Amino acid sequence: MADRKVDYLLIGGGLASGNCARWLRESGAEGSILLVGREPDLPYNRPECSKGYMQGREERDDTLFRPPSWYAEQGVEALTKVSVMALDTDTRVVKLSNKEQIEFGQALLATGANVRRLNVDGCHLDGIHYLRTLGNTDTIRSDAAGKRVVLIGGSYIACEVAASLTELGSTCTLVMLEDVTLSRGFGEQAGRYFQKVLEDHGIAVHGGDELERFEGADDRVSTVVTKGGLALEADAVVVGVGVNPDVSLARAAGLSIGERGGVEVDSRLRTSVPGLFAAGDIAEYESVVHGGERIRIEHWDVAFNMGKTVALNMLGRDVAHDVVPYFFSDLSDWASLEYVGPASSWDQEVVRGSIDEGEFSLWYLVGGRVAGALSVGRSDDLEAARRLIASRKEIGEPGARALADLSSDLSEL
Ligand SMILES: Cc1cc2nc3c(=O)[nH]c(=O)nc-3n(C[C@H](O)[C@H](O)[C@H](O)COP(=O)(O)OP(=O)(O)OC[C@H]3O[C@@H](n4cnc5c(N)ncnc54)[C@H](O)[C@@H]3O)c2cc1C
């Protein structure tokens, strides 16, 4: 027997839940809304953990999705430091870590992701950090600012943190499997541009190498040893080697987990249980803008927009999630990138603008169709990219030539 019943239960205190609560109210929902999150903070903008908040340019309150007063004003009950421990899809009751049992009318599962942890010799030494939360940022800032820091990984988190810590006076060295930073998502041509930006700011980059072990003194990390034979002195280490969607609650509840490790949902973000939705990093959804292909994306804008789609569908609007996935990343204020796609593979890259001058868009084509586009300083190009991705229009060689020609009007493609 549940202690009480709510109309809308939002499981997970992140962006997808926060924006779902917002859109429920903005779209006229009058029932009770309960958001349950296990972190100490109300929903916040996680990207700031490696950017403005890490650099000290933003206060903790600046990162919040909505100020604390908003929740009371909107009649949204938000619990922090409380976990949903179990979800029973038959009785539609959840058990909370504060011992409450809550029955729900409809629910959103948005439990986000957990960092992948390394399991090598020395991995338990002090001074080795992972980054997912504001609290992690506080620890990294106090432990690594102004020191010699080795970053493991060549993607967003490691690159962004290297840039932010450099701004805080740290001497940063990056070790990664790939030959060139950020090349997994963007290819080597774009990756070389970003790597040069990092190197021009004094960050040493070691590509094509792999972590072998950590060595320490007095239980604290002192050296990072690589399989390629490097022994890098380190006062602190930050590991950024990806995340795993947190599907533990969903799995235990018997929901279907897809090939990409996420909770399987349809184009409306519905699970197989009526009135139960999933969104954000855990949602493996049928993307109507990718011909119905099932994808899972770990980015801010996707979680944000999915929160809205779920709210509308909870209110019976029956809308497909049809937003072309977008994301951004900043290397301090040295370089900013934006991207729409995603292109998992491509057979042609077309540059519009000048990579050398740091103002370009890079287009990823598969079989003459646009699958993704990266922009550095050319945000306006992304509108055409969104349209071309969603339409799946074959633009072929004439289209590719037009993309490369700055005098061509992209709206005509
Ligand atoms: C350091 C960092 C920088 C980033 N930078 C960018 C960027 O520049 N651009 C970009 O597009 N994306 C970026 N991202 C990714 C983006 O922040 C995520 O994709 C987004 O936050 C996902 O939102 P979400 O609501 O799905 O999950 P989350 O934000 O992870 O929120 C899920 C919440 O649910 C909680 N939770 C989990 N299980 C339970 C439970 N059983 N009970 C209660 N609560 C639970 C979690 O603790 C967490 O607080 C970044 C991420 C990080 C960590």
CA of 157 to the centre of ligand 1 (A): 13
Nearest atom of ligand 1 to the alpha carbon of 161: 1
Closest residue by Cα to atom 3, ligand 1, is 47
**Quick one: tokens of 397?**
């060689």
Instruction: Identify the DSSP state of 42.
Output: P
The reply to whether ligand 1 has any atom less than 6 angstroms from the CB of 180 is no
Neighbours of 120 (CB within 10 A): 12
pLDDT of residue 1: 84
CA dihedral 147, 148, 154, 160 (to 10 degrees): 20
Q: Can you tell me the distance from the alpha carbon of 370 to that of 105, in angstroms, rounded to the nearest whole number?
A: 41
pLDDT of residue 304: 98
> What does the buried/exposed string (b/e) look like for 140-168 if buried means 16 or more CB atoms within 10 Å of the residue's CB?
bbebbbebbbbbbbbbbbbbbbbbbbbbb
Residues 282, 246: contact at Cβ < 8 Å? yes
367: left (phi over 0), alpha (psi -120 to 50) or beta: left
Give SS3 for 139: helix
The reply to whether ligand 1 has any atom less than 6 angstroms from the CB of 331 is no
Strand partners, 108: 10, 277
Give SS3 for 95: strand
Q: Can you tell me the distance from the alpha carbon of 406 to that of 411, in angstroms, rounded to the nearest whole number?
A: 13
Nearest atom of ligand 1 to the alpha carbon of 307: 25
Q: What is the mean pLDDT of each run of 10 residues along the chain (413 residues)?
A: 96 98 98 98 98 97 98 98 98 98 98 97 98 98 98 97 98 98 96 98 98 96 98 98 98 98 98 98 97 96 98 98 97 97 96 97 97 97 97 95 96 93
Q: Where are the beta strands (DSSP E) in 46-163?
A: 76-79, 84-88, 93-96, 101-109, 113-115, 128-130, 148-152
Ligand 1: residue of 20, 46, 160 to mutate (most ligand atoms within 8 A of CB) is 46
**Quick one: tokens of 368?**
């003459």
Q: Can you tell me the distance from the alpha carbon of 149 to that of 152, in angstroms, rounded to the nearest whole number?
A: 10
* Dihedral pair phi/psi, residue 304, rounded to 5°: -60, -55
The reply to whether ligand 1 has any atom less than 6 angstroms from the CB of 129 is no
pLDDT of residue 221: 98
Nearest atom of ligand 1 to the alpha carbon of 301: 11
CA of 411 to the centre of ligand 1 (A): 35
The reply to whether ligand 1 has any atom less than 6 angstroms from the CB of 157 is yes
The reply to whether ligand 1 has any atom less than 6 angstroms from the CB of 95 is no
CA of 393 to the centre of ligand 1 (A): 33
SS (H, E, C) 304-352: HHHHHHHHHHHCCCCCCCCCCCEEEEEECCCEEEEEECCCCCCCEEEEE
The reply to whether ligand 1 has any atom less than 6 angstroms from the CB of 155 is no
Nearest atom of ligand 1 to the alpha carbon of 131: 1
Torsion sign, CA atoms 173, 179, 180, 182? negative
Instruction: Name the pTM for this structure.
Output: 0.97
**Quick one: tokens of 83?**
């976990």
